[in-house]
Structure 1
Amino acid sequence: MSESVAIDRPQFREAMARLGAAVNIVTTKGPEGDAGITVSAVCSVTDDPATMLVCINRSSRLHDTLKNAGVLCVNILAPEQEELSPIFAGRGNLPMGERFARARWTRLVTGAPALENAAASLDCKIDQTVEVGTHTVFFCAVQAIRLGTSSSGLVYHGRAYHHIHGQQK
């Protein structure tokens, strides 16, 4: 690995705020029940085999729950689900049960909660983890996909939510 260069953290964070990202709620089933967290650091790795990566800060209360569960579901939010994002990000410090009570959930293959009417839900088995700096990168093999009725999306850019309007199916 190359030598690390000192980068100003606030400047890096500001640069990343200018990189628009889809808003997702990543869920799992843990020993204490369902758990979920709002995540923007999600992307595809390859379509053969269908693999995604999800980055979670190791200081997150849900990091170990996700890692130990071995499964997760990436729920890509539609614009009408914007209100769920700050709730699952921890605003209001609601217990998990109350967070999940704000929406309707089902199960796909792994048993992790899949948000009804999400733009898409990708149900995954965690194949590999790599620790980088403050985060763990989860490489996830997609086990099942459910597409919502709308291709519209919710993006976070410039520290604000933006609705991306797609076509109805």
Structure 2
Amino acid sequence: MKLHNRRLLTAAFATASLLAAATAQAKIYAYGAYGFNFSATPTTGYAAVPLTDTGKTSLKFKTTKDGMAVMISFTAECSINTAGSAWVDVDVMVDGVAISPTAQTSDAFCGADGVAGYDPFTSAAVNVVAVVPVAGTHTVEVRARASDNTSGIWVSDTSIVVHD
């Protein structure tokens, strides 16, 4: 009888765990993908990175309460054209404000190998958490630049997801 009860308890626990996992899904507020090549030489600042196949460089999303936290996941193929030591810096922006840890100039999304030309090509990703102070419609965008402000950057095949 004890073995039978233990099996029932184990089965009940497994079923409850599966049901809990099935209901714990992230809500997606916005998403986009850009399946083409994008390169730029932003000598005076940042270049806006395409986030959709139509070339949109920003996406709108809505929050339902003040102080709501959202996670933004950004991935891209990345490279830099320099024979020196430089990197591609990306900033994930919400309502025009760079979100940490991308809110600085020394964070490398990808780096150079010291040989002239776009090389190496890397698949890179960054996740940020933004606490949006006021409920409503917000804008997410990604901008990129070369750390030395002279090298060409390559930020292609992008994907972005804004979720809880």
Q: Structure 1-normalised TM-score? A: 0.24
Q: TM-score, normalised by structure 2?
A: 0.24
Larger RCO (CA under 8 A, 6+ residues apart) = 2
Larger radius of gyration: 2
